[in-house]
Amino acid sequence: MKSTVKVRKFAMKTSSGDVNLTSRIAGLVFKNPVTVASGTFGTKGEFSDCVDYAKLGAVITKTITVNPRKGNPMPRICETPSGMLNAIGLQNKGLQDFLETKIPYFAGIKTPLIVNIAGEEDQDFKTLTRALHRHKKVVRALELNLSCPNVEAGGVSFMRKRKKIDRIVRTVKNETDLPVIAKLSPELGDVIEIAGLVAASGGNAVSLINTLKGLSIDIRTRRPRLANITGGLSGPAIRPVALRYVYEVKRRYPQLPVIASGGILTAADALEFLIAGAELVALGTANFVNPSATLDVLDGIRSFCQEQKIDSLDDLRGSLQLPEKKTCW
């Protein structure tokens, strides 16, 4: 009820004007809450013809590993009802290439850069963190890929035990004062429990959720549509699951910042996550369907707030009104 009163109060005093869309995570200030999910926005400037990167709240990179990775064999993407499966396998050119070619590019963009990193051993995370820490003027936060369902080593199988998650978060925190964000998937187990573990280990935020492991079969060939057999399911099909986890994590740990992702295609989708309490919303699959989806969503959020006479996004964030509990006799 308190949130409702607050929104109504601001509704009375707002005329037209601009909306304060500022969002914050661990001391970092973002001009708006819209960003991109790792691995869905190219590796450098591939979307620059469709999106002015400077208008985004943040940019999250494709996963970076210490050494180059070729990724999984083809085919590794297929469409599914209300979504897609992918088994890219963390293909990337490695840390050195990122430092030499990507850092200089992103240095010219005045938008916070969040670098997603993954490793098979603790030392990999340490090496990546140390190298990126030296570029703090460009790299503003690290997102730990703890839950990629498409990689056997270093993915879900490796991260299954809570002790390893705890150790990796602590390892990274010991090497940098950059904000550390843990990207989680229900494939790891109890997301709510693990989010609490991340916070207790020193993590500054969580990213919810990564893809869900899925399978698609060609009935004529009787073979999996992906060479990897299974892949990560993304898109609108997983949005209710992602929204549920954002809501439950914020309800249990209200002070733990959340980057929400999972089937966000429109401003209405993003607003659901913001009302549930998310600090940022990350678009992934939407970028494949509509390359300018991020800016469309941003415009839609701003228009909604103006229409609803909301001065600041903080008056909307976390304003979910729960139904009153009724006793059944």
Task: Give 150-184 as a DSSP string.
Answer: T-SSSSHHHH-SHHHHHHHHHHHHHH--S-EEEEE
Which domains, ranges and CATH numbers included, belong to the chain? Answer: 2-71+93-212+238-315 (3.20.20.70)
For residue 322, the tally of other CB atoms under 10 A from its CB is 8
In single-letter form, the type of residue at position 51 comes to: V
Exactly one of 50, 78, 148, 305 is catalytic; name it.
Answer: 148
Alpha-carbon gap, residue 325 to 322, rounded angstroms = 9
- Is 148 one of the annotated active-site residues of the chain? yes
Per-residue pLDDT of the chain (329 residues; tens, 9 = 90+): 333 333 333 333 333 459 999 999 999 999 999 999 999 998 899 999 999 999 999 999 999 999 999 999 999 999 999 999 999 999 999 999 999 999 999 999 989 999 999 998 999 999 999 999 999 999 999 999 987 655 544 444 545 578 889 999 999 999 999 999 999 999 888 999 999 999 999 999 999 999 999 999 999 999 999 999 999 999 999 999 999 999 999 999 999 999 999 999 999 999 999 999 999 999 999 999 999 999 999 999 999 999 999 999 999 999 999 998 776 66
90, 184, 246, 262, 320 from 278: Cα distances, Å: 26, 15, 7, 12, 11
Give the global pTM: 0.91
